């Protein structure tokens, strides 16, 4: 079913053209007054959301945990409620979520909760220091907001590289008027894992932050074609061919991602917190129609996802409906979510999350009848069939943005590289000590276009908080999208949620190193 031409067309589709006069990102003059996250206009916008009057109350305890990853492997990490993924939160569109975070992390570690993909009130977005003070160890903070848009979301910290521990969980907002017809749901969370096995995310960041430099005198140009994986992708740790790097992964290549696939060596890739040798199992019946809600909660890995022996019908991405598309496999970047429908066959089938370009995979099983489980390294043919990403999808008619003039355009250059690990936006690293410096400015009511211009040699999943944007003039509604190296992706959104919002790469290490900016409303 697959062909080089089809795959090339999909990759080319990631470059979406736009029109309009360019506006500067930031400015040389003084920054105008900004709408603060706790301003009256934010509260007013919240009151305009249509609510059900129901409140869903939960407690999230962030604390150290010894996690069972399956296969007799345990990891000392941090998690919500002692498990990873954390317990799913599910509510109906229009309900209010009241989530009390209890920070029980060690060593005076601060934390927060970011509600990824939800267009919520700005002061509940969970981004210290931009929208709140970080929650100190031993303290509690209650996030309270109305969730008015149905979809598949998740939540995680927005402090340092805490995302790359066990601190994440699904957030499902159900549609009271659900138009899809299906018999059951299965939430599938993908994750790349090293914490408590080969090291910690902070150790990874410390190593990466040194950059590659000259790699001990080795010419950077001599690395092409070399196996720099350390020959240990299944076990993790160890040294690369450079003789010095424990965590840095080189030689990971993917044509789907335009070249370099990632920075970090992970010993394990998990599906619903389980290793391939001891996988999570969904049990169903032949002929039943199941909705899979797929979440990539990883920090450095895109996954190519397929269910052996089955076709997948894509119905949503990042919570918003799309024109249905039947495919063999999906390419899911960090922070992206896809909903698919599948009609189950009779037997035992592998759901495989291939770590794109990394020669490793995660695995779960679907069991509807008798049969032996496939081996942990199974690679169903669907992984090489018709592979879809967001560039090949169209927004459903009822969520497509109306046609109107674009009021403001920002060029968002993605800059930096591995040599100095100096990732940034428009040549600048975001400074957490000065969060409102050089903001991307918008005004309430404007139609805004962002041109993501990737000037780097790596791909970046670009995430906008508090809004969804549309790829091009008719593509899907998204909040996170893949931008390939050397490509430009233009997205459109309406500035209808005042406050201050992060715009960043959802590679946890790229974002923390500086590929982040503040999108702020002028007061």
Predicted confidence at residue 244, as pLDDT, reads 67
Query: What does residue 508 show for φ and ψ, rounded to 5 degrees?
Result: -55, -35
Encode burial over 38-50: b for 16+ CB neighbours within 10 A, e otherwise: ebeebeebbeebe
pLDDT category at 220 given cuts 50, 70, 90 is: very low
Which among 507, 504, 514 has a CA at the least distance from the CA of 440?
504
pLDDT in tens, 45-84: 999 999 999 999 999 999 999 999 999 999 999 999 999 9
**What pLDDT shows up at residue 213?**
64
User: Over 60: is that where the pLDDT of 241 sits?
Assistant: no
Tell me, what's the pLDDT at 6? 37
User: Tens digit of pLDDT for each residue in 191-211?
Assistant: 999 999 999 999 999 999 998
DSSP letter, residue 41: H
Answer yes or no: is pLDDT of 243 > 70. no
8 A C-beta contact, residue 243 and residue 236: no
Q: In this predicted model, what pLDDT tens digit does every residue of 388-441 receive, in sequence order?
A: 999 999 999 999 999 999 999 999 999 999 999 999 999 999 999 999 999 999
pLDDT tens for residues 147-166? Answer: 999 999 999 999 999 999 99
Structure tokens at 214: 């000259």
- pLDDT value at 35 more than 90: yes
pLDDT tens figures, 299-324: 999 999 999 999 999 999 999 999 99
Does residue 16 have a pLDDT over 50?
no
| Whole-number percent of the chain with pLDDT over 90 | 87
159: CB partners within 8 A, 6+ apart: 110, 111, 112, 128, 134
Q: How far apart are CA 347 and CA 368, in angstroms?
A: 5
HSE, CB side, 13 Å, CA atoms: give it for residue 231: 4
Instruction: Convert the pLDDT of each residue in 269-295 to its tens digit.
Output: 999 999 999 999 999 999 999 999 999
CA–CA gap between residue 363 and residue 354 (Å, rounded): 9
Least confident window among 13-22, 301-310, 383-392, 503-512: 13-22
What is the pLDDT at residue 210? 92
Which H/E stretch holds residue 64? strand 55-70
My answer on whether omega of the bond before 85 falls inside 30° of 0, hence cis, is: yes
* 271 contacts 362 by C-beta, under 8 angstroms: yes
Asked if 366 contacts 337 with a C-beta cutoff of 8 angstroms, the reply is no
Tokens of 397: 């008619």
* Predicted pLDDT at 29: 52
CA 452/CA 299 separation, integer angstroms: 20
Q: What share of the chain in percent tops pLDDT 70?
A: 88
pLDDT band at 374 (very low <50, low <70, confident <90, very high): very high
- Cβ neighbour number for residue 64 with a 10 Å cutoff: 16
330-353 mean pLDDT? 98
Give the per-residue pLDDT at 31: 72
Give the residue from 401, 400, 398, 396 showing the smallest Cα distance to 322. 396
- Residue 24 clears pLDDT 90, i.e. is over it: no
Q: Which residues contact 40 (CB under 8 A, 6 or more apart)?
A: none
Q: What is the pLDDT of residue 250?
A: 87
**Residue 227 confidence (pLDDT):** 35
* Secondary structure class of 173 (helix, strand, coil): strand
Those residues with Cβ within 8 angstroms of residue 345's Cβ, 6 or more apart along the chain or in another chain:
286, 309, 310, 368
Rounded to 5 degrees, what are φ and ψ at 228? -105, 20
pLDDT of residue 113: 98
**223 pLDDT more than 80:** no
Q: Is 162 helix (H, G, I), strand (E, B) or coil?
A: helix
Give the model's confidence band at 245: pLDDT under 50 very low, under 70 low, under 90 confident, else very high.
confident
> What's the predicted TM-score (pTM) here?
0.90
Spatial separation of the C-alpha atoms in residues 31 and 49, rounded to whole Å: 30
Predicted pLDDT of residue 218: 38
Select from 397, 384, 287, 257 the least CA-distant residue to 327: 384
Per-residue pLDDT for 18 more than 70? no
pLDDT in tens, 89-124: 999 999 999 999 999 999 999 999 999 999 999 999
The mean predicted confidence, pLDDT, of the chain is: 90
* Mean pLDDT lowest among 239-248, 438-447, 450-459: 239-248
């Amino acid at each position: 079913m697959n062909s080089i031409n089809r795959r090339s067309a999909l990759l080319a589709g990631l470059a979406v053209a736009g029109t309009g006069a360019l506006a500067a990102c930031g400015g040389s003059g003084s920054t105008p007054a900004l709408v603060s996250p706790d301003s009256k206009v934010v509260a007013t916008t919240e009151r305009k959301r249509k609510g059900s009057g129901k409140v869903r109350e939960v407690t999230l305890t962030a604390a150290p945990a010894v996690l069972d990853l399956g296969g007799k492997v345990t990891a000392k990490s941090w998690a919500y409620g002692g498990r990873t993924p954390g317990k799913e939160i599910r509510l109906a569109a229009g309900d209010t979520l009241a989530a009390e975070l209890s920070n029980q992390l060690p060593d005076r570690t601060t934390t927060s909760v970011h509600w990824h993909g939800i267009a919520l009130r700005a002061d509940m977005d969970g981004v210290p220091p931009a929208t709140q003070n970080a929650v100190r160890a031993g303290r509690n903070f209650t996030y309270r907001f109305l969730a008015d848009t149905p979809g598949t979301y998740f939540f995680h910290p927005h402090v340092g590289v805490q995302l790359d521990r066990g601190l994440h969980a699904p957030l499902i907002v159900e549609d009271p008027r659900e138009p899809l017809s299906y018999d059951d749901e299965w939430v599938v969370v993908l994750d790349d894992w090293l914490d408590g096995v080969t090291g910690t995310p902070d150790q990874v960041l410390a190593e990466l932050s040194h950059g590659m430099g000259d790699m001990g005198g080795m010419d950077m140009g001599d690395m092409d074609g070399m196996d720099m994986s350390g020959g240990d992708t299944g076990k993790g740790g160890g040294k690369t061919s450079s003789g010095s790097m424990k965590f840095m992964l080189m030689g990971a290549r993917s044509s789907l991602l335009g070249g370099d696939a990632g920075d970090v060596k992970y010993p394990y890739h998990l599906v619903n917190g389980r290793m391939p040798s001891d996988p999570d199992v969904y049990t169903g019946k032949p002929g039943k129609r199941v909705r899979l809600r797929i979440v990539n909660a990883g920090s450095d890995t895109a996954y190519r996802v397929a269910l052996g022996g089955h076709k997948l019908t894509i119905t949503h991405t990042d919570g918003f409906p799309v024109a249905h598309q039947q495919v063999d496999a999906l390419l899911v970047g960090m922070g992206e979510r896809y909903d698919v429908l599948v009609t189950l066959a009779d037997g035992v089938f592998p759901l495989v999350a291939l770590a794109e370009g990394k020669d490793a995979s995660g695995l779960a099983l679907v069991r509807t009848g008798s049969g032996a489980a496939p081996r942990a390294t199974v690679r169903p043919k669907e992984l090489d069939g018709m592979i879809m990403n967001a560039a090949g999808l169209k927004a459903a008619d009822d969520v497509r943005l109306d046609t109107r003039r674009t009021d403001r355009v920002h060029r968002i250059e993605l800059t930096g590289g591995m040599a100095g690990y100096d990732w940034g936006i428009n040549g600048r690293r975001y400074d957490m000590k000065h969060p409102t410096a050089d903001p991307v400015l918008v005004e309430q009511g404007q139609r805004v276009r962002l041109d993501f211009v990737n000037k780097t040699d790596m791909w970046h999943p670009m995430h906008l908080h508090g809004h969804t944007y549309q790829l091009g003039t008719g593509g899907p509604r998204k909040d996170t999208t893949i931008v390939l190296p050397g490509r430009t992706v233009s997205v459109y959104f309406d500035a209808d949620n005042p406050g201050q919002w992060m715009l960043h790469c959802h590679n946890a290490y790229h974002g923390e190193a500086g590929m982040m900016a503040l999108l702020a409303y002028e007061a």
